[in-house]
Each structure stands twice: as C-alpha cells, then as structure tokens.
C-alpha cells in the first residue's frame, strides 16, 4: 500500500537485499532510461521507499551504451523494498530496476571494526603483522580480506601482489565471485604476465564478465596460452587484451585453419607462436609473421615442405619444433642459420651443420645413421652443445653413451624413455660431464641407490635429477645425498629431485622427525645427529634438497617448454618438501635443541 500524501511506502517488513559476496545493496540501477524521464520525477518516485542520498543520470555516448540512472539509498532496507518490484512505472514509462554490482556498492566495513569491543581489532596491528596474516591465506581468502578495509586493500596491493605467481589460470579465476574477479584483476594487473586457458567450459557468462574486466583495466598480458578451445571462443579474449603487448601466443589443439592465422597478424610484437596439434594448418600465412623468433609446429602434418621453405626464407627463427610434422631438407637447414634450438622426430645428418646449435631434442633409434649422426655431432658441436634430449623407447647402447659424453659442455642430458637405458655403467660414463646441471633417468629399472652416488659426488654443478618411475630408488638415497651435500660449499639453489613412482614417500619428513624422537633416549647419538644438521645446515641457512612428488606427464606445447621441473605449481597437484633443513630444526623439541648446543 502507498500513502501518497506522506510520500512514504507502507507495506510488508523491509529486508536487506545482498549482491554477490554478501554485500548489502544500497545502489540501484535503471539500465535503459527513457529520454522523457527527468531526475526530479525519478527522485520523487523512489523516495517513497526511503531516504535517498543521490540520483545520478549517466548519459550514454553511443547506442551500445544507453543512458542509465543510479539511485543511491541511505538505508539498505529501503533499497531492498524498492527492489521488490522488478518493474516501476514513472510518468507512464515502464522501467526495469536492478541492483548495481557488488563492487559499486558502498561496502564500508570500518563500522564493523569499530563496534568490536571484546575482540582484537585487526587494524591496530602494524603492516608487517598484517602481511604475515595475508601470507597464511590462500589467494581467494586474501582477496576477501582485502575487500574489508582500504588499509587491507593497500597491503594486498603493494605487499602481497608483487609476490604472486606471474602465470595465472582461467580455471582458478572462474572459481571467484564477480566482485573477487574484478578486485583481483584491478590490483594484480601489472604483475600478470602469463594467462593460461587450459580447459573447456560449458557456461560463458562468467567468462564474458572476465573479458569485460580485462578490457576495463587494459591488462598488459605478455604471454597468452589457449589450449583446446574453438576459434569462436578465444577471439573474445584476444580483443579484450592489449594486442601490442602480447609477445607470446600458443594455440594448442584449437582446430585452427590458415584463415584463423590472419587475426594473429594484428599482434605487432609477436615473437613466439605455438601451433602444436592443429592438424588443418597448411602454413600459407606463416611467412607473414616477420618478427617471429620461436615457432612450434608439433604434429602439424598438413604443412608442406614448399610452404615451410618460404616461411624459413622470410623469418629468422632461433627455436623450431617440427616433430611429427616436416622432415627438413638441406635447403631448409641452410635457410635456418640462426637456429639454436631444434626438435626432430628422427636423425638428420645435415642438422649438425647448423652453426649456432645449442639445444637438440631428437627421437633416438638404433639405425645405420645413428653412429654417423653422433660422430658428426661431436665433430661440429663438442664445445658448444648445451642440451641433448633423447626421447623414444629405444635401447641406448653403451658405445652410443660413450660418444655422447664426448660433448663435454653438456648441461642437460635426457637418456630416453626405455626402461633399461639407465644402469651403473651409464652413470659412470655420465660422471665425465663436469658441467652437467640436469639429467633425466626416468623409467630406469636397473638404477639403484648406490649407482647414483658417484653422480652426486662428481657432478658438483648438478641442479635437477629426474628419477620418475625408477622403482628401486629408496629413501636411503636421500640420506646419502644429504650427507654429501652438507659437506660442500653452500649452493645458491637446492638440488631438485623428481621422485614420483619411486619408493620414496611423501611422508619422508615425518619419518625423519619420528626417527629423531625415537633416538632421543640415547642422548649422545641425538646430540651428534642434531648437531650435524644444526651446525652445517640450519645456522648457515642452507637449502640442500627439494623433492617433487608430481607426475610430469605434460602437454606438448610452449606452455610447458623446458624440463619436467619447470611446470607451474597451479597446473599440477604436487607435494613438495622444500628446505628440509629448516623444517628439521623448527620441529625439534626445545629441550633437545638445548642439549645439542
């Protein structure tokens, strides 16, 4: 019922209406305001429901942005009463009224902090204490806390965002509410460098919201990776970003055709292009990407040698992936003089004539050309080849390994996927590579704990070891490795070992602590053991070892380019034991710490 003389609204009991994130609604919006309606009549009509603070008309500049009206109530219950009617009639004009988004509401929560007399006021803490509180929360909780107060927002923006991962996944962003999405893109936009869309989605309403936010805040994404999306879906994302800042683009398994490459020509500074598993591509427009430096054509088997030759003639590539795609001719090799990284599906002898070759990935096979290929590789690149990655389930014979270790400047060595490639004799040969930093021995069934110790001792620059599915590696290898590493000069980074599928379990740290507690009755041994870790590890703040328990089955594309150790934390669910030395001492009982001194 309405009492027109009093100008008030009398009806059912008023209730507060909430927007997303439980934000009370104070502001309403008329999305399409008729031209005949003036602010005086609008204010007169909506004042019947309660006291107004302001009525603002936003005039649209184009047809796509019609004139809107924002109605701001002093009380949230009054706004809720006005929202009970979806359509209002003003001057015989029927208009639709809806609540403004949560981020446009006057969501001031300072009053809640002021009312809390019995509880501790969070805002009385200094910035460093608040930063520590933020660090114990996940990203979504951090966003929610930053929305509570302007000071918390500044701490999140200036002290937390700078430490966030530079790679962000759409899958994680879609789990946020609309208000949280906007807050994150608003505060963390300058720190986002890589955006990965790695999943197919059914609904597109939230994705449209994200695209609108990307366009609103003009995100300067440098690297965009789209995986298994149709051309109709990813175009919206491209148009929402600042195209001049995109330098790296990967379209993995997106059913691209040559005509779709035309829209990528609008990226003026594109230097990296990944087109893996787009089987319909013929490569007609590849030669038009004049600034391109890195190109992945894995499994693009419809590209002909003629089209690819034209591409090589016009481009100056430094990286090329043509596995299961093209068998390069001598002409192609001659045109690619600037290549320093190439990936092939088989041995091609004249590849070794590339003058700047630094990294080679090739499918190993025992064929008549194998010996000639490795001999030519040693002859031309013994002093400059840094990476050799052998793939395929083919047995690697000892004479072949002996030829490989003559590439004495190797820093990365993968020894294929065959179960019997790794052995004690192979490891003994590999120890001759004094500059070795990464080695992959995955699937090796003949490798034992004691076989790997010479590798740890002699290859002092070693940073990464892939022991995935080496079923006979036990925790004894970890103890021996810790003992060897503790006797060296402190390294800048810990030795990273991928131990998925071995006999090393993820609860190894609890085993260590329980071992310490069991031997605490024998004070002499406990003192010696704790003194070993405290003096050589904890006091010098050394990080000796990092164990990764994830499976490294990754997509074949630029998003995971590099080794199995470079996969982003958001992409795989992994359990990591990092800085074991520090965790040792933090969990030791105080009385025993005193005894060890």
Ranking 19-28, 272-281, 402-411 by mean pLDDT, the lowest is 19-28
Give the span between the Cα atoms of 319 and 359, in whole angstroms.
9
- pLDDT tens digits, 548-587: 887 755 555 565 554 444 433 333 333 333 333 323 233 3
Q: What is the mean pLDDT of residues 361-377?
A: 92
Cα–Cα distance list, 371 to 136, 240, 376, 416, 429 (Å): 56, 53, 9, 17, 18
Q: Let me know: does 340 contact 357? Beta carbons within 8 Å.
A: yes
Burial 153-177 (b: 16+ CB within 10 A, else e): bebbbeebbeebbebbbbeebeebb
Range of 345-349, 470-474, 484-488 with top mean pLDDT? 470-474
Looking at residue 122, its pLDDT comes to 81
Give the span between the Cα atoms of 137 and 155, in whole angstroms.
14
Question: Residue 182: which pLDDT band, with cuts at 50, 70 and 90?
Answer: confident
Model confidence at 294: pLDDT above 60: yes
Model confidence at 193: pLDDT above 80: yes
Looking at residue 104, its pLDDT comes to 81
More confident residue, 107 or 16: 16
Question: Residue 529: which pLDDT band, with cuts at 50, 70 and 90?
Answer: very low
Ranking 1-15, 250-264, 464-478 by mean pLDDT, the lowest is 1-15
Looking at residue 268, its pLDDT comes to 94
Mean pLDDT (the chain, rounded): 81
* Domain ranges within the chain, ordered by starting residue: 2-104, 463-597
Looking at residue 516, its pLDDT comes to 52
Give the span between the Cα atoms of 53 and 287, in whole angstroms.
61
Give the span between the Cα atoms of 325 and 308, in whole angstroms.
10
Model confidence at 531: pLDDT above 50: no
Radius of gyration of the chain (CA): 31
Cα–Cα distance list, 327 to 299, 305, 350, 542 (Å): 12, 8, 12, 48
Note the pTM of the prediction, 2 decimals.
Answer: 0.76
CATH number of the 2-104 domain: 3.30.70.330
Tally of helices (H runs) and strands (E runs) in the chain: 22, 23
Looking at residue 16, its pLDDT comes to 83
């Amino acid at each position: 019922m309405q009492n027109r003389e009093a100008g008030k609204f009398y009806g059912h009991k008023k209730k507060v209406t909430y927007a997303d994130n439980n934000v009370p609604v104070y502001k309403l919006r008329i999305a399409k305001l008729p031209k005949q309606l003036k602010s005086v009549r609008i204010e007169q009509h909506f004042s019947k429901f309660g006291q107004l603070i302001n009525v603002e008309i936003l005039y649209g500049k184009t047809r796509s942005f019609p004139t809107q009206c924002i109605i701001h109530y002093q009380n949230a219950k009054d706004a809720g009463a006005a929202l009970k009617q979806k359509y209002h009639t003003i001057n015989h004009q029927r208009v639709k009224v809806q609540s403004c988004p949560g981020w446009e509401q006057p969501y001031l929560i300072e009053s809640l902090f002021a009312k809390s007399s019995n509880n501790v006021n969070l805002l009385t803490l200094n910035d460093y204490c608040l930063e520590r509180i933020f660090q114990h929360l996940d990203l979504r909780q951090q966003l929610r806390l930053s929305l509570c107060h302007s000071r918390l927002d500044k701490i999140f923006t200036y002290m937390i965002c700078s430490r966030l991962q530079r790679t962000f996944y759409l899958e994680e962003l879609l789990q946020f509410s609309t208000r949280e999405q906007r807050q994150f893109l608003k505060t963390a936009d300058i720190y986002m460098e890589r955006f990965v869309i790695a999943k197919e989605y059914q609904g597109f309403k939230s994705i449209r919201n994200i695209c609108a936010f990307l366009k609103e805040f003009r995100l300067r994404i440098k690297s965009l990776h789209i995986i298994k999306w149709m051309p109709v879906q990813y175009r919206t994302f491209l148009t929402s970003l600042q195209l001049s800042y995109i330098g790296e683009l990967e379209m993995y398994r997106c059913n691209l055709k040559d005509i779709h490459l035309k829209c990528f020509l609008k990226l003026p500074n594109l230097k990296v292009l990944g087109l893996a598993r787009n089987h319909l591509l013929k490569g007609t427009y590849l030669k038009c990407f004049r600034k391109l430096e890195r190109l992945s054509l894995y499994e693009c088997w419809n590209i002909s040698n003629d089209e690819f030759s034209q591409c090589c003639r016009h481009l100056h590539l430094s990286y090329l992936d043509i596995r299961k795609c093209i068998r390069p001719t001598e002409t192609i090799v001659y045109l690619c003089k600037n290549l320093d990284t190439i990936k092939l599906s088989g041995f091609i002898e004249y590849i070794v004539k590339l003058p700047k070759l630094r990294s080679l990935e090739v499918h190993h096979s025992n064929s008549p050309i194998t010996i000639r290929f490795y001999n030519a590789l040693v002859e031309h690149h013994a002093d400059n080849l840094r990476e050799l990655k052998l793939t395929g389930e083919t047995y690697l014979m000892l004479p072949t390994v002996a030829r490989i270790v003559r590439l004495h400047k190797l820093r990365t060595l993968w020894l294929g996927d065959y179960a019997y490639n790794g052995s004690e004799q192979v490891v003994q040969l590999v120890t001759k590579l004094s500059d070795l930093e990464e080695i992959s021995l995955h699937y090796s069934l003949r490798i034992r704990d004691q076989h790997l110790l010479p590798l740890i001792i002699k290859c002092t620059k070693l940073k990464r070891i892939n022991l995935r599915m080496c079923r006979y590696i036990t925790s004894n290898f970890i103890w021996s490795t810790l003992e060897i590493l503790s006797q060296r000069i402190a390294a800048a980074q810990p030795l990273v070992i991928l131990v998925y599928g071995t006999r090393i379990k993820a609860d190894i740290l609890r085993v260590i602590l329980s071992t310490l507690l069991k031997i605490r009755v024998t004070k002499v041994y406990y003192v010696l053991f704790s003194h070993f870790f405290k003096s050589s590890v904890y006091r010098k703040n050394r990080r000796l070892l990092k164990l990764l328990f994830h499976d490294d089955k990754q997509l074949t594309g630029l998003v995971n380019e590099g080794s199995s150790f470079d996969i982003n934390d958001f992409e795989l669910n992994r359990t990591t034991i990092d800085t074991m030395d520090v965790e040792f001492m933090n969990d030791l009982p105080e009385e025993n710490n005193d005894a060890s001194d």
